[in-house]
Every structure is written in C-alpha cells, then in structure tokens.
Amino acid sequence: MPSQAARSAASRRELMDAAIALFAERGYHATSVADIGAHAGQSRAAVNFHFGSKEALLLAIVRHVVDEWEEHMLLPELERAAASPEALTDAGFGAHRRLLAEQPTMFALHHHLMAEAIGPNPAVKDAFAALDRRLRDRIGELLGLARAAGAVRDDVDPGGLAGWLLGALRGIAQQHLVDPSGLDLDAAYGELKRAVLARVRP
Amino acid sequence: MPSQAARSAASRRELMDAAIALFAERGYHATSVADIGAHAGQSRAAVNFHFGSKEALLLAIVRHVVDEWEEHMLLPELERAAASPEALTDAGFGAHRRLLAEQPTMFALHHHLMAEAIGPNPAVKDAFAALDRRLRDRIGELLGLARAAGAVRDDVDPGGLAGWLLGALRGIAQQHLVDPSGLDLDAAYGELKRAVLARVRP
C-alpha cells in the first residue's frame, strides 16, 4: 500500500495535469478550482488542500513548464552541433517543430501563461522574463561557440540575433495554433533557416 | 443637445475603451461586465444594454483591433518603398517599433486576444486567423513587387518568409512586454533587418 506521502504526491500530480489541460484549453481565469478538482476526479477542496490557492497551483505549473522548456529547448546535444550553423539550425528548428507537432497542449499553455505574464501577475512575469533571458543567453552562447570555430561572421550581435530568432520560433507556433492550415510550416522553417545562414556565414 | 443616437454611440465607445484598457491589463476572463461599466462611469447593466453580452463586446473589440492593425501594419506607404528591400525593412520595422513604444496597451491587448484565439473561442480564432492570412499575404505581395523590380532573389518563398517575419516581429514585442529591460531592441531589430537583407538580396 502506498504511503501517505506517495498518495499525496500522486494527488498533486493529478491536479497539476488536470489544471494544465484546462488552462491550455480555456486559459487560467476561465478555469475554476472546482473544475480542476472535478477533472482530476477529486473533491472541490482538493486544490486548496494541496496547493493553498489557484494562484499557487498556477505558479507550480509555471515552474513545471519553464523546466520542461529548458529541458527541451536548451538541448544539450545542440552543443555538439555548435561548430556548424547548418547543423545547429537543423537540430534546433527540428526539435521545435517536433515539439509543436507532439505537444500542442504545452504550446497552447505556454501562450496562455505568456498572456498572464503580460498581464498583472508579477510572479508569472518574473518567471517568464527569467526563462526568456536564459533562452536568449543559451542561443547567444551557441552562436559564440560557432563564431569561435570560425563558422559565424564577426559582426553578428549574438543577443540581437537570439532575440528575434526566439521570437520567430514562438511566432511560427502561435500562427500554427490559431490556424493550422494557414501557414506552410515547411516554407516558414525553411526560409527561417536560409535567412539565419545567409546572415551568419562568413 | 446631442441626439439619442449620438449619445448611444458615445456610450458604446466609452464602454469599448474601458474594456480595452481592462482586457489589456487583466485579460478578458478576469474582467467582469460590472468592472467595465464602473470603469466607463456607467451602470452595471450598460454592457448588456449596448452590446447584449460580454462576448459580443469582445467581438466588437476584436474587429476594432483587427482594423487598427490593418491600418497601421498594412501601411500604404510601404508600397512606395517596395522596390528596395532596405527601404521596406526600414519603413516596416520602424512602424512596428514606433507602435510598440506608443501603443503598448494595444500590443498587450493583442496578446491577450491571441491567447483567447488559441483557446476555445471560435469567433476570435477566425478573426485572428483571417488577420494573420491578410498580413502574410500583404508581406508576400510586397516581396513579389520587390522581386519583380529585380531587388529580391528568385528562390525566396514569399509566404514562408512572411510567416517567420510576422512571427519575429510579434515575438520581439512579446519579449519586450514581459521584460522591457531584457531585450536590446536596437540589436534585435538591427539583426532582423540584416538577416532579411542577407537572405533576399540577389
């Protein structure tokens, strides 16, 4: 028989999964504590019992999503590709596109939480500001490695390129989520790769 | 003395302005009909009297925002710059950056409505899907004009480039809204321009 602590951890995890599904579908504000409990097959009071409040549950999810993004997007294998901008764009854009196909719920959730970060929730804002800084720094580091290997022009500003590139990947995902048949993903990722390579190659 | 129709139009406009401010600050779901009425200095019943429902008011705002974006972003003067990719990027990115500085509320609102479009609201989704298609078509048209003038390489895919470029501009704005001091806008717009020109120039 599982211990009390193991049962409690399992209940927390079920509530987080239920909240992730509902926040991604409807957004944070349109989801009530009672909806989350019911979706997880638990009592109306379960969210408050395990997390203290809907906002504390949101912050647990933001931390989880930030960790997931870092694990998937700050891919350690990118480092092995770093000497070649072509290998880097193939690995990075390939991972992004695969995640978009396989985990559309995480992308939708990410966009809802980002709207929350732009709104009045300072804790969510801080979490996403820190994530964006780490992602830009990571892209900038990879560019720096490629530049040190002589594969990137000296006049490229790594932070500036990282900023618009992170934006372009998010913007492609957002257009795809709003209208899956509207944007030709092959053409968009392909042109993005050609533009990055045209800019960075010595 | 203003006519009944003029007073009614003024009340509708005040309610829309109040809702735009509140939706941009808190999001759609966190704003109640009573909040909107109070912010506009009108009765709790005013939204329902003038629009029928909060959702109908949201759709009036989506139409207004879409019109505003089209007016500002499908800039007629871009056509005069079309023969030169450098003039096009200067005019287009300059207009985008100016709007971001002057109308941050419209950008924040746009991001909240986009989250709504990714969520379960089919009318908002359709409105933004149509806007994205028009914006991509417009960027593609301008690229086509520049290509016809011999200023853009023949192997550029206008739709693919328009897709990631629209995404990059939105993604720059989103990072800036979440964390104004995190992203160097000079560097991001500058590198974006250099990447587009490196890709398109024959």
Residue A98 CA, chain-centre distance (Å), reads 13
Q: What residues of chain A lie within 8 A of the CB of B177, using their CB?
A: 118
Say how far apart CA A74 and CA A38 lie, in whole Å: 35
Per-residue pLDDT of chain A (202 residues; tens, 9 = 90+): 678 888 888 999 999 999 988 888 887 878 899 999 999 999 888 999 999 988 888 888 888 877 777 776 666 667 777 778 898 899 889 988 988 898 888 888 888 888 888 876 788 888 889 889 988 998 888 888 888 889 999 999 999 999 999 999 999 999 999 999 999 999 999 999 999 999 999 9
C-alpha span between A132 and A126 (Å, rounded): 10
Query: Is residue B4 packed enough to be buried (19+ CB in 10 Å), middle (13-18) or exposed (0-12)?
Result: exposed
ipTM for the assembly = 0.86
Q: Which residues of A touch B29 (CB under 8 A)?
A: 27-30
Smallest Cα distance from B5 to chain A, Å? 35
Chain B residue closest in CA terms to A190: B160
End-to-end Cα spacing for chain B = 63
Domains of chain A: 1-52 (1.10.10), 61-200 (1.10.357.10)
* Chain segment B9-31, per-residue pLDDT in tens: 899 999 999 998 888 888 787 88
Q: Which two tokens stand for residue A88?
A: 């880097």
